[in-house]
A and B are shown apart, each in its own frame.
Chain A
Amino acid sequence: MTRQEIEREVKTVFQREFEIENPEMDADLRETYEFDSIDAIELLLAIETFLGTEISQEEKKQAINIRTINQICDYIEKIAIKRNLFSPA
């Protein structure tokens, strides 16, 4: 899995689950798109499906301060690296 694939998947999830088309990568999701805590929980479930791996409660709590699409991608990348799912190229 590459960074590009992660970004593509996150955008797909945002379009499919949250009806947000082409979100800006560094926009504050709450302020710009009314993305809230309920959406965050739904997003974590979507990330688990995408990665095909369970995210621990501890890892989920680390997502609490995420505000932008780029930060979501960083978060997924970090978990993917930990699970040996990530390829830098």
Chain B
Amino acid sequence: MIMERRVVITGSSAITPIGHGKDQIVKSLLSGVSGIKPLRPEEFLSRFIHSKVYGTVDYPVEYDFKRNYRKTMGPVAYYACQVAKEVLAQSGLTEEFITSGRLGVAFGSIHGSPTVQRNIYRIFFGATDKSAVKEIGAVDYLKSMVHTTAVNITKMFGITGRVIASGTACTTSSQSIGYGYESVKFGMQDAMLCGGADEYDTITVAVFDNLLACSTAFNNEPHKTPRPFDKDRDGLVVGEGAGAVMLEEYEFARKRGANILGEVIGFACNNNGGDMILPNLTGITNTLKLGVENARINPQEVDLISAHATATKMGDIIEAQAINAVFGDNPHVIGLKSYTGHTMAACGAIETIMTLYMMQEGFIAPTLNLEEIDERCTMIKHVQKTLQQPVKTAAIQNFAFGGVNTILIIRKFS
């Protein structure tokens, strides 16, 4: 018989374009603050990118990492280690447990640190003789490798359990939470520190811009985009940030008197098995069904869905159709990227954390900029103004390039 254990959330933290930590984020959600700002000019790409908006962390984040840790960290690892540090502190787990091997880390970013990689390219293209080799730092790989966030966290806190470093673009951190959940559920670890991070990066904007997937019509009014499910939506807005949660086996958390913030009750991940970019109704619908089955609930029990909702033309329509096919028009549906932009590897964790906050505080934040619902997206229950009401069960949906789809289902702890 397969062991299945309850998995609860005992810590959460996020650095987002609308604030750092629960108080600021909840305040921004309640007051409709957008974190979308003008794209910052840099030496090359920004001039040629059509989209001039970015989900920006434009406030200072205070770090006090010792040099011994800083030396292997690019900006993405600073974000990751900061939220990890805050989650570890909030969880109240002892150093003895953290270093015991019973705690693992599931954390990722879409491609390590682009800032560090960009510097390597600069050396590469400017190289005139062999001395250029010496300009590449001994630690540049450690700062830029795809699992840099996960292992800088393990190093900083002496974590000796398993490491899962998913790097599946927009499903990176929803996979982190999902695979962390499975690790605890099936008894492989007693706790998992899970999340994702991505730093400010114009290369990602250029990629989506070239795919004609970025928003360009609101360059002079950044706060009016992205517009998930809205008739006038014109694409996604890339963003930066980080989110982390502590998942823990319920009995262990209960016995040590941990403050339980919520419960993860289901997760599913599948692939469309075909096109790497186009959204796939069959694939996504199957994901949602698998998630509901995994959580062993009736679809009608889900009362809030945080949709992936990047505000691309087809993506939002396909997602609305999939939600309707599985959940009908019962659950409220919101697109949280309207506040933050698409925070890439961090989006699954950030959106899970925001959903958890709404669950804890008893409100549902509306989808920003949803002024006139696209007639092809009207079959689901959109939220256009703040609702003060309890949320018991919520689903967080994320989809990535490569045809990867995930759903996480969380529940208010009782």
A-side residues, CB < 8 A to B, are 18-19, 34, 36, 38-39, 41-42, 45, 48
Contacts and interface: CB of A to CB of B under 8 A. Distances in A.
B134 A38 contact: no
18 contacts: A18-B67, A19-B67, A34-B68, A36-B68, A38-B71, A38-B72, A38-B138, A38-B139, A38-B142, A39-B71, A41-B138, A42-B71, A42-B137, A42-B138, A42-B139, A45-B134, A45-B138, A48-B134
A59 B372 CA distance: 71
Interface string B111-150: 0000000000000000000000010011100100000000
A54 B68 CA distance: 27
Interface of B: 67-68, 71-72, 134, 137-139, 142
A42 B138 CA distance: 7
Most buried by A among B68, B134, B137: B68
A45 B68 CA distance: 18
Given A18-B67, A19-B67, A36-B68, 7 more contacts: A34-B68, A38-B138, A41-B138, A42-B137, A42-B138, A42-B139, A45-B134
B218 to A, nearest CB: 45
Contacts of B71: 38-39, 42
Main secondary structure of the interface of A (DSSP, over half): helix
Contacts of B138: 38, 41-42, 45
Contacts of A41: 138
B141 to A, nearest CB: 11
Nearest to A45: B134
A48 B130 CA distance: 14
A53 B228 CA distance: 59
B66 to A, nearest CB: 8
Nearest to B70: A19
Q: Which 6 A-B pairs have the closest CB atoms?
A: A41-B138, A19-B67, A34-B68, A38-B139, A38-B138, A42-B138
B403 to A, nearest CB: 38
A39 B138 CA distance: 9
Contacts of A39: 71
Nearest to A39: B71
Contacts of A19: 67
A41 B138 CA distance: 7
A12 to B, nearest CB: 16
A34 to B, nearest CB: 5
A13 B134 CA distance: 17
Nearest to B71: A38
B36 to A, nearest CB: 38
A39 B142 CA distance: 13
Contacts of B134: 45, 48
Contacts of B67: 18-19
Contacts of B68: 34, 36
A38 B139 CA distance: 7
Contacts of A34: 68
Contacts of A36: 68
B236 to A, nearest CB: 37
Nearest to A19: B67
B74 to A, nearest CB: 14
Contacts of B137: 42
A8 to B, nearest CB: 21
A22 to B, nearest CB: 16
Contacts of A42: 71, 137-139
